[in-house]
Amino acid sequence: MMSDPRTCLFATKQLAVDFILLEWQDAAKKAIGQKGRFVVALSGGKTPVDFYRKLSKQKFSYWNKTHIFQVDERYVAPDDADSNFRTLKRILVSKIPALAKNTYPMVSRNSSIEKDAQAYAFKMKEFFHLKEGERPCFDLILLGIGQDGHTASLFSKGPSLREKERFVTISHSSKHPHERLTLTLPVINYAKQVIFLVTGQDRADIIRRIFAGEKRLPAGYVAPQEGRLTFCIDQEAASELPFWRYFFKQGGKK
């Protein structure tokens, strides 16, 4: 049964990034203690880049036991400026030698996007030693939220949000560039921990709408069955939340 989401509000994005690093370390220690490896899925976009940069500076003894999958990817060449894997590789993977063999790009440029979707799902089935009917269980999934409420590459229009069987599906949106591959809700909601990192004034409206319980926003469908869900929001993205506005109007007085 899903516990209530945890909401952590931070005065700055840097403080949110510092917090997520602590969560990462806790989750890694627990996962490696239990099964000898730490398996995460990381989102693309711009928001998490500061976190990936901070991660790249960490001298973790367990980098060789850390495995990185992608949450989603634009169907572009690996050297395309819009490639999430290109960003992840440039900021993080290229800085930590142990990650070179433990990071799994979503796009492998097989003959088609459908073949790549199937290949990534098969990679997860093999990696997690899944039997028929089982799902991959990530220790930690890091997500962002777009101004329209999409997360991963799950958009309100189209079938991707409603996919109930596949681990990886194809999606696209008229408002966002490129066809994409994305993990589906059955995988995301089976994770041990999901963290949303949402920052910036341009996310204040969508955060207000999500917290007001507006229906049919993709991010609103992220509800880990057994895992923990945490919103890490900076002051700007939280600025339209009533309680946050009240707090700051009072100048933070107790």
| Residue closest to ligand 6PG when measured from CB atoms | 144
* CB nearer ligand 6PG, residue 60 or residue 221: 221
Closest CA to 87 of 66, 67, 105, 101: 105
* Least distance CB 199 / ligand 6PG (angstroms): 8
Query: If you count them, how many residues does the chain have?
Result: 254
Report d(CA 164, CA 97) in Å as an integer. 36
Q: What does residue 202 show for φ and ψ, rounded to 5 degrees?
A: -75, 0
* CB nearer ligand 6PG, residue 68 or residue 152: 152
* CB nearer ligand 6PG, residue 30 or residue 176: 176
Q: 230 and 192 in contact (C-beta within 8 Å)?
A: no
The residues that bridge with 69 in the sheet, in sequence order, are 41, 104
* Least distance CB 86 / ligand 6PG (angstroms): 12
Distance from CA of residue 95 to its chain's centroid?
20
* CB nearer ligand 6PG, residue 28 or residue 71: 71
* Least distance CB 44 / ligand 6PG (angstroms): 3
* CB nearer ligand 6PG, residue 44 or residue 224: 44
The footprint of ligand 6PG (CB under 6 A) covers 43-47, 71-72, 84, 144, 146, 150-153
Report d(CA 7, CA 136) in Å as an integer. 26
End-to-end CA distance of the chain: 35
* Least distance CB 147 / ligand 6PG (angstroms): 8
* Least distance CB 163 / ligand 6PG (angstroms): 16
